Amino acid sequence: MNPGMEGTPPRILVILPAYQEERSIGGLVRSLRERYPYDALVVNDGSTDNTGDAARGAGAIVLDLPCNLGIGGAVQTGFLYARSRNYDVVVRIDGDGQHEIDDIPKILEPILAGRADAVIGSRFLGETGYRGSIPRIFGIRFFRFLVNVTTGYRVTDPTSGFFAINPRLVAFYSDHYPSDYPEVDAYILMHRLGARALEVPVRMYDRSEGKSSITAFRAVYYMVKVTLSFLINRIRRFG
Amino acid sequence: MNRVTILSIVVSAALLLYILEMVRRRKLREEYSILWLFGSVVLLVLSLKKNWLDSFAHALGIAYPPSFLFLVGILFILLILIHFSIAISKLHQMNKKMAQEIALMKEKATGGTSGDPSIGP
C-alpha cells in the first residue's frame, strides 16, 4: 500500500467526531481547510445544538447521526463514509480542539511512505509538555501495561484519539469498532490483523470549550469496560 | 387440598393464560413467550402434583420441598434475564447500524449542503 506514487496526490479524509461543539467546531474546520487540501468530515453525534450547521458553514462534509451513539459509533460512521469513498488515508482528530492540527503531517508521513498501517499521536513521546491529572496518568499507565503485555506493541499513549490509518484498517474498523472508549481496544484489533502500528510525538491541549466526556464517576466504568472488552477481543472471532 | 396449593394453582394457571392471551393479541412475540410458557407450565405441574415436588426435592437432598420451588423459580428468572440482555444487545447493534446508515444516506441525499440538525431529544 503506497498511495501517492502514481502521480495523483493521495486522497485524505480527516474525521472529527463532535458532540455539542457548536462554539469550537467551525473555527477548527476552517483552520484545517486553510492549512490542508484534505476533506474534513464532521460526524455530528446527535448534538442538540448547532454543531452540524456550524461545521457545514465552515465547509466540512457533515454526517448528522439521528441519536447519540457515543464516540466509537460516531467515528465508525466516519470510517464507513471513508470506505465507501475509497480514501487513501483517514486521520481522526478530536472535534474539540484538543489535538494540534499542525502535527497532522507527522501522523500522515509514515503511512504515505508505506512504513505503517496505523500511526498514533502520543503526548508522552519527546518534549510535548503534556500534564494530566493523577487518575488520568494512572489509567494511562495501566492501559499501557495491558497493551504492551498482551500485544507486544510498545505503546506510550494507549488512549490517544489522534491517529491515521490506511484503507485496510478503515475497512476492518468499519465492521468492528467498539462503541465507547475504542482506542485501547483498537490495539487488540490491530494486533489480530498483524497491522504495523507506530507512535509519533504530538501536542495535545486541555479542552477549550465544552466538557470532557470522561467524568470522575465514569473513570471506574471506563477502566473495567475497556479491560473487559480488550480481553474479550483477544479471544473473539472476527467473521 | 390446602389453601396454599389452591393459591399456587390459581396463580400459575393465571400466568399461563395471561401469556397465551398476550401472544394471541400479538403483544408478546412467540420467541419471547416460549420461556414464559415453559416456566408457567412447570410451576403449574409442581403445584398440581405436590408429591412430584416432594420427590424431586428429596432426590436432590433438599430437606424443605418448597425451597426447591424457589430454586426453580430463581433459575428461570435468571434465564429470562440473560435472554433479555442478549436481545437488548442485538437491538443495540441494529439501532447503531440504522443510525449510521441514516446519517450516510442523509449526507448523500443533500450533498452535505442543507442544514438538517438531528431530530433527537
In three-state form (DSSP H/G/I as H, E/B as E, the rest C), the secondary structure along A83-117 is HHCCCCEEEECCCCCCECHHHHHHHHHHHHCCCCC
Cβ–Cβ gap A62/B107 under 8 Å: yes
Q: In the structure grid, which three cell numbers stand for residue A172, read together?
A: 476492518
The residue-averaged pLDDT of B77-88 equals 92
Domain boundaries, chain A: 12-235
Q: Which of B88, B90, B95, B96 to mutate to test the interface with A (most CBs of A within 10 A)?
A: B96
Q: Using 50, 70 and 90 to split pLDDT, how confident is the model at B115? A: very low
Residue B95 has pLDDT above 50, yes or no: yes
Residues of B in contact with A63 (CB under 8 A): 103-104, 106-107
To the question of pTM greater than 0.90 for the whole model, the response is: no
Residues of B in contact with A179 (CB under 8 A): 92, 96
Q: Using 50, 70 and 90 to split pLDDT, how confident is the model at A213? A: low
Residues of B in contact with A76 (CB under 8 A): 100
Collapsing DSSP states into helix, strand and coil, what is residue A7? coil
Residues of B in contact with A50 (CB under 8 A): 117
Cβ–Cβ gap A67/B120 under 8 Å: yes
Give residue-wise pLDDT tens across range A92-130.
999 888 899 999 999 999 999 999 999 999 988 876 566
Cβ–Cβ gap B104/A81 under 8 Å: yes
Q: Using 50, 70 and 90 to split pLDDT, how confident is the model at A12? A: very high
Cell 472535534 sits on residue = A95
The per-residue b/e assignment along A110-140, b for 16 or more CB within 10 angstroms, e otherwise, is bbbeeebbbbbbbbbeeebebeeeeeeeebb
Interface predicted TM-score (ipTM) of this complex, two decimals:
0.84
Closest-CA residue of B relative to A52 is: B117
Least confident of A153-157, B70-74, B111-115: B111-115
Cβ–Cβ gap B118/A69 under 8 Å: no
Q: Is the separation of the CB atoms in A183 and A158 below 8 Å?
A: yes
Phi, psi of A16 (to 5 degrees): -120, 100
Closest-CA residue of A relative to B111 is: A61
Of the candidates B112, B118, B119, the beta carbon closest to that of A56 is on B112
Residues A108, A105: Cα–Cα separation, whole Å: 5
Closest of A183, A62, A67, A64 to residue A121, by C-alpha: A183
Check residue B49 and give its pLDDT: 86
Phi, psi of A90 (to 5 degrees): -120, 125
Residue A186 has pLDDT above 50, yes or no: yes
Total Cβ atoms within 10 A of residue A219: 15
Q: In the structure grid, which three cell numbers stand for residue B88, read together?
A: 437488548
Can you name the residues that pair with A200 across neighbouring β-strands?
A121
Residues B82, B39: Cα–Cα separation, whole Å: 15
Residues of B in contact with A48 (CB under 8 A): 117-118, 120-121
The per-residue b/e assignment along B23-38, b for 16 or more CB within 10 angstroms, e otherwise, is beeeebeeeeeeebbe
Per CATH, the number for A12-235 is 3.90.550.10
